[in-house]
Amino acid sequence: MLDDQKFFRDVVERINYWHPSEEFEQASGFSDELGNYLERHLSEKSLVDDSVDLEVSRDGSTLEVEEKVFIILEKNFSDIEEASEIIEGKTTEYDYLIFVSCGVEKVDDWRELEKKYIGTRQRNTQLDFIWKSPELYGVERQSETRGEDPLGGLMDQVQKASEEAEKEDD
């Protein structure tokens, strides 16, 4: 088994590669899809011994991976105070915490939340923040191989879609 720090970085990397397939009505739709994605990709990459130990909360707002990494998942982040309370509460329980928002209503608040925690260690907890833009829902990456385009060809796909949309407008 990998050391915890390396495992955390690999989970963050996997989440960065994931894009929701659609706009789900509830956070549980996003968390179910992310959970399935993590189970598949962490097992494929031999990052766990057998199968991934992954727990999703009933309401779909949190996931726990291998009892080490805690993921807070929000649909359309909008409340910095509520998010801070959740983060503060979980830093006493976990060494590794990832805050994922599928959509952001208040970009300034999202940036303020990141600034508050990024580069600091809150009670010895390592934190990472990942924002999933609704514009990229349903966009599949062409590659997830390390060392290649870090966005897996994603920007090429976005550019191509943009050009096609412009052609349709003409």
* Tens digits of residue pLDDT in 126-135: 899 999 988 8
SS3 label, residue 130: strand
Give the global pTM: 0.77
Whether the per-residue pLDDT at 62 is higher than 50: the answer is yes
Domain boundaries, the chain: 4-138, 143-170
Picking from 126, 135, 77, the residue whose alpha carbon sits closest to that of residue 101 is: 77
Taking alpha carbons only, the member of 77, 88, 152 closest to residue 123 is 88
d(CA 149, CA 137): 19
Q: What is the pLDDT of residues 146-159, one digit of tens each?
A: 444 444 455 555 56
Q: Angle at which helices 4-17 and 27-44 pack, to 10 degrees?
A: 120
